[in-house]
A = this chain, B = another copy of it.
């Protein structure tokens, strides 16, 4: 089998800070960036592509770290690596000297994510399947062997994992067919960046409604009055049947449709009368007590969850916030039109706001504890902050055991391309749950990927289309032209900025 012979890394930066895309209460100026790795083998037809996502400065540091890790793979036989991806993951993590500058967190861990993902991409490509299909076709024993196991056995044993996977074998084929037919449900963040005007929010929200989206996320945390105004604006649009087609209105009245506000997949999501859901995201700006008070002030717009209310490492803080946001007073001035209410008679004045986090949860060890401490309602895994597919599999299995839905983080650059694979694995192989577990979608920078992610539009739309090209691997390969243009600092785009003095 081919051996790994050499690799290249690319520090790619896209000038998103110019447009206000991606602005939130913490990240005020992002240049979405990719620390990108191409692994080459002795076979010209077999390569692997991986990346991790950053927001600008520091992307060079991650590239350097990726190089030091990728160097360990030179000369390795790909078949040896692929035959036991769990052992391969352990090998990537095993350098005792590099371990010190983590361990298993920060730069060294997100760099490991790029390398592990490149190996999964190459593995999938070598068997002519997209990554999700490669994993879904594995036997339960192979899946268990592919996972990252260290430090989680107090929460999940290999035997339990095997039993859980075996229990889901029946119906695997049926779920695969189902999701290929209907697509995987997505939610939209693009409308709600802090940097956008009300007019832009309105037009983007209406556009997303037309495309079929039903879940909308708003960035909050700078100013409560401002947040309420923007949230009410979005609610007024998404809750108003006037924006629906006749077909969609029929679905809203159909109890078997996920569009119906009483449908089980909307349970706990505080949907509006048209089955639409609002989420809010604070990107870590608050202290714990401040988060509780602030989010109580948002109750009247009935968000499903508050995302990243405080420091991402604060497990006990999230647990406290979650406890204190259960059955809180719902503001009588709430904008959901009366007499509509989903709450049983006598409980309409109470609401529970869920807690979501994970895009900065740096390892399976953190997720394990978020689950053990009942700190979250929704797990938002990140495809490259975790150290690649092997560690993601561990977190998906932990979430299954604790019965917590996984709604992966996406957006940035490349994350949407990655995460559809992870949600498909979660649905087909692990959780069997799809309509509840919406997947983030942001319409940015997809044009740079050879197998860009695609979204169904129109009624029944707002869903990711299942990637099926046998050569697309993890869908993360970028066009050579994009690499030449956005490589930092020498690419043609950045050279141009230097020439015209705007850098």
Binding site for B on A (CB under 8 A): 26-31, 54-58, 60-62, 64-65, 68, 95-110, 150-151, 153-154, 284, 287-290, 310-317, 320, 360, 362-363, 365-366, 368-369, 372-373
- Contacts A154-B288, A314-B369; A68 near B64 (Cβ below 8 A): no
Q: Which residues of B contact A65 (CB under 8 A)?
A: 58, 61, 107
- A31–B62 CB distance below 8 A: no
- B284–A103 CB distance below 8 A: yes
- A58–B287 CB distance below 8 A: no
Nearest residue, chain B, Cβ from A290: B153
Q: Which residues of B contact A26 (CB under 8 A)?
A: 96, 99
- Contacts A64-B61, A97-B56; A315 near B315 (Cβ below 8 A): yes
Nearest residue, chain B, Cβ from A288: B154
- Contacts A57-B98, A58-B98, A97-B30; A369 near B315 (Cβ below 8 A): yes
Nearest residue, chain B, Cβ from A363: B313
Q: Which residues of B contact A312 (CB under 8 A)?
A: 103
Q: Which residues of B contact A60 (CB under 8 A)?
A: 64
Nearest residue, chain B, Cβ from A366: B313
Q: How many angstroms between the C-alpha atoms of A369 and B369 in the bound complex?
A: 12
Q: How many angstroms between the C-alpha atoms of A97 and B99 in the bound complex?
A: 24
Nearest residue, chain B, Cβ from A52: B101
Q: How many angstroms between the C-alpha atoms of A470 and B29 in the bound complex?
A: 43
Q: How many angstroms between the C-alpha atoms of A304 and B312 in the bound complex?
A: 33
Q: Which residues of B contact A68 (CB under 8 A)?
A: 57-58, 61
- B313–A54 CB distance below 8 A: no
Q: Which residues of B contact A98 (CB under 8 A)?
A: 57-58
Q: How many angstroms between the C-alpha atoms of A290 and B149 in the bound complex?
A: 14
- A103–B360 CB distance below 8 A: yes
Q: Which residues of B contact A57 (CB under 8 A)?
A: 68, 95, 97-98
Report A324 CB to chain B, min CB distance, Å.
11
Report A228 CB to chain B, min CB distance, Å.
24
Query: Which of B107, B153, B288 is in CB contact (< 8 Å) with A106?
Result: B107
Given contacts A56-B100, A106-B362, 17 further A-B contacts (CB under 8 A): A27-B100, A29-B97, A57-B98, A58-B65, A58-B98, A58-B101, A60-B64, A61-B65, A101-B110, A106-B108, A106-B109, A107-B108, A151-B311, A154-B289, A313-B365, A314-B365, A316-B372
- B29–A96 CB distance below 8 A: yes
Q: How many angstroms between the C-alpha atoms of A96 and B98 in the bound complex?
A: 25
Max chain B C-beta neighbours (<10 A), residue from A26, A314, A320: A314
19 sampled A-B residue pairs with Cβ under 8 A = A26-B96, A27-B99, A58-B108, A61-B65, A62-B101, A101-B106, A101-B107, A103-B311, A105-B313, A105-B362, A106-B107, A151-B310, A151-B317, A153-B288, A154-B317, A313-B362, A313-B369, A314-B368, A317-B369
Report A60 CB to chain B, min CB distance, Å.
8
Q: How many angstroms between the C-alpha atoms of A320 and B30 in the bound complex?
A: 40
Q: Which residues of B contact A360 (CB under 8 A)?
A: 103
- B153–A28 CB distance below 8 A: no
Q: How many angstroms between the C-alpha atoms of A96 and B373 in the bound complex?
A: 29
Q: How many angstroms between the C-alpha atoms of A107 and B63 in the bound complex?
A: 13
Report A170 CB to chain B, min CB distance, Å.
32
- B314–A151 CB distance below 8 A: yes
Q: How many angstroms between the C-alpha atoms of A95 and B55 in the bound complex?
A: 11
- Contacts A58-B108, A68-B58, A108-B106; A153 near B316 (Cβ below 8 A): no
- Contacts A97-B30, A101-B110; A154 near B320 (Cβ below 8 A): yes
Q: How many angstroms between the C-alpha atoms of A59 and B135 in the bound complex?
A: 36
Report A216 CB to chain B, min CB distance, Å.
24
The 9 A-B residue pairs with the shortest CB-CB distance in the complex, in nearest-first order: A106-B106, A56-B97, A154-B288, A107-B107, A57-B97, A58-B101, A151-B311, A153-B287, A55-B100
Query: Which of B107, B316, B365 is in CB contact (< 8 Å) with A311?
Result: B365
Report A57 CB to chain B, min CB distance, Å.
4
Q: Which residues of B contact A372 (CB under 8 A)?
A: 316
Q: How many angstroms between the C-alpha atoms of A369 and B362 in the bound complex?
A: 16
Q: Which residues of B contact A362 (CB under 8 A)?
A: 105-106, 313
Q: Which residues of B contact A31 (CB under 8 A)?
A: 97
- A154–B101 CB distance below 8 A: no
Q: Which residues of B contact A27 (CB under 8 A)?
A: 96, 99-100
Nearest residue, chain B, Cβ from A149: B287
Q: How many angstroms between the C-alpha atoms of A488 and B105 in the bound complex?
A: 25
